[in-house]
Amino acid sequence: MKHSHGSHAMKGMGKMGHSHQAGHAMGKQIVKGSMASATVQSGGKIMAKLTKHPVLIFGLGVVAGYAVYKYRKDIISSVEKATDASKDFVLQQKENLEDIVSETKEEG
């Protein structure tokens, strides 16, 4: 088998760098897809086991309901804060848009 040394070997290395980066990106996508598939599959298995135990589902519902009831004031206040923040954001964006429109009219 013939070996390449010197400048011939280095020319091939430049091309290899791009394919290596593309391969690395492809590898990341494959890992992400595999993880998502495993998550969905394990979640399906958990749900299949839970459907065989309706008392457990009822118990989880009771615990979730208790937690929501216990922290309802905190939940309501955080929702109100988020609502106020979103209203402020919308008003600020509206003002910015009005400024841009008035500047455009002045230039025209």
For the segment 26-60, what is each residue's pLDDT rounded down to a tens digit? 777 887 777 777 777 777 787 777 778 889 889 98
pTM for the model stands at 0.44
Rounded CA-CA distance 46/44 in Å is: 5
Q: Per the structure, how many domains does the chain have?
A: 1
The CA distance from 14 to 21, in Å, is 12
Cα gap 5→11, rounded to integer Å? 10
Instruction: Specify if 64 maps to a domain.
Output: no
Query: In the predicted model, is pLDDT for residue 17 greater than 90?
Result: no
Q: Within a domain: residue 3?
A: yes
Does residue 86 belong to any structural domain of this protein? no
83 found inside a domain: no
Range of the domain at 15: 1-52
